Amino acid sequence: MASSTRRTSATCWCARWPGSPSICRPMRMPDMAEGEVSGNAPALEARGLHKRYGAVHALRGIDLAVWRGEMFALLGPNGAGKTTLFSIFATLLKPSEGTAQVLGFDSVRERVAVRQRMGIVFQEPALEGKLSVRDNLHLMGLFYGLSSRAAKTRSAELLVTLGLEDVAAREAQKLSGGQKRRVELARALVATPEVLFLDEATLGLDVDARRLFWAEVRHYVSAGGTVFLTTHYMDEAEPADRIALIDHGQIIALGSPQELKNRVGGGVLLLATDDDAQAAAWLREHGHHPEISARGVLLVASEPAAVLPEVLAHLPVRTRRAEVHEPSLEDVFLKLTGRALEDGNGKPAPRAQGGQP
């Protein structure tokens, strides 16, 4: 990514954030290809973070480091605390206790410095609907303090790389859902941020649109950027370098996708039966530790294929389908919490206070 010099602008997009003064200051973005990576200093760091909304204890002691150049996913069910943690890192919310740092800057005391170096895509649309795609990007560049010429050049580059050239002149409100999300991503990238925050950024998109979106995010990471994303879809977390599983405001597991799956053990036997509760009870009586999920009865075993014949022969209920597979992130979550990760209703979680501009 090319270096660019930023200028102070009179109007600042970040002034749209609650209680925020204009934050744009002259600054020089680092060339991420050359890198200003200082040793192993984390890009994001949380220490002893708690967040309470009145009686709701949304974050219960988060300690976390995200490394520079890492694609990091926060994966958990609706209500787990993802948007709350995301909003604290992204300077949109103050913690009740503890500290959060982004690129060495405190997310409360030095939020100006943090905002200058980050790009963000919210769960909810933030485009100017009446403006063209090109103008949305150009405007965001100006808000970030780029010169008009630099903003135009950068917007033009992003229109090409994100496959938006054909719709560049179209009003943002007339785009498809997938196109809108790509414009949101382009806007977040227009000032070449060092950290990109994505909160459930592809919620509601079809598979093709999600694939295109994530391909661009990976492109950004391969150029040296750091990504912190939240999702409740395991397949979106899967390409991340590391994943933190979050549940009830606590990180319950952290590691690469493979490390997390290794925690489950050998493999998974999934049975769809006429009576899953009875099947699970029988399995328990015979020394197994089954979990019941929406997909059926799930049994983790070092060699699930070896268990299958005995189970099929003796289970007192009819088995409609039996399947053996490698552990998935869904299985990891189920094993750790006894509950399913994806609720399947696609409903967004309640929004954190002041969390969106």
Q: Is residue 49 involved in binding Mg ion (CB under 5 A)?
A: no
Residues 112-151 touching Mg ion, rule: CB under 5 A, are none
Using CA atoms, how far residue 344 sits from 233, 244, 297, in Å, is 9, 20, 18
Closest-by-Cβ residue to ligand ADP is 349
Task: Work out the number of other CB atoms within 10 angstroms of the CB of residue 100.
Answer: 25
Residue of the chain from 84, 155, 226, 293 that contacts ligand ADP (CB under 6 A): 84
Q: Which does 316 bind (CB under 5 to 8 A by kind): Mg ion, ligand ADP, none?
A: none
Retrieve residue 193's tokens: 């941020």
Dist CA 229 CA 186 (whole Å): 16
Q: Which does 81 bind (CB under 5 to 8 A by kind): ligand ADP, Mg ion, none?
A: ligand ADP
Smallest separation, CB 322 to ligand ADP (Å)? 33
Q: What are phi and psi of 321, to 5 degrees?
A: -155, 140
Number of residues that bind ligand ADP (CB under 6 A): 15
Q: Is residue 350 involved in binding ligand ADP (CB under 6 A)?
A: yes
Retrieve residue 166's tokens: 């054909």
Sign of the torsion angle spanned by Cα atoms 328, 68, 93, 100:
positive
Q: Which does 223 bind (CB under 5 to 8 A by kind): Mg ion, ligand ADP, none?
A: none
Sign of the torsion angle spanned by Cα atoms 184, 241, 65, 348:
positive
The one-character DSSP state at 322 is E
Residues 211-240 touching ligand ADP, rule: CB under 6 A, are none
Helix (H) or strand (E) holding 327: none
Would you call 50 helix, strand, or coil by DSSP? strand
The one-character DSSP state at 240 is S
Residue closer to Mg ion (CB basis): 337 or 356: 356
Q: Identify which range of 3-11, 142-150, 303-311, 347-355 contacts Mg ion by CB under 5 A.
A: 347-355
Torsional class of 35: left (φ above 0), alpha (ψ -120 to 50), beta (otherwise) = left
Smallest separation, CB 108 to ligand ADP (Å)? 17
Residues 76-95 touching Mg ion, rule: CB under 5 A, are 82-83
Retrieve residue 201's tokens: 């950024």
Q: Is residue 349 involved in binding Mg ion (CB under 5 A)?
A: yes
Task: Work out the number of other CB atoms within 10 angstroms of the CB of residue 308.
Answer: 18
Q: Is residue 353 involved in binding ligand ADP (CB under 6 A)?
A: yes
Give first-to-last CA distance, the chain, whole Å. 28
Residue closer to ligand ADP (CB basis): 89 or 282: 89
The one-character DSSP state at 109 is T
Smallest separation, CB 82 to Mg ion (Å)? 5
Dist CA 244 CA 280 (whole Å): 29
Question: What would the x/- binding string for ligand ADP be over residues 44 to 83, using CB under 6 A?
Answer: ---------x--x-x-----------------x-xxxxxx
Q: Is residue 352 involved in binding ligand ADP (CB under 6 A)?
A: yes
Smallest separation, CB 83 to ligand ADP (Å)? 3
- Return the amino acid letter for 137: L
Would you call 54 helix, strand, or coil by DSSP? coil
Residue closer to Mg ion (CB basis): 83 or 328: 83
Dist CA 294 CA 340 (whole Å): 8
Q: Is residue 121 involved in binding ligand ADP (CB under 6 A)?
A: no
Q: Identify which range of 12-20, 167-175, 316-324, 344-352 contacts ligand ADP by CB under 6 A.
A: 344-352
Residues found near ligand ADP in the complex (CB under 6 A): 53, 56, 58, 76, 78-84, 349-350, 352-353
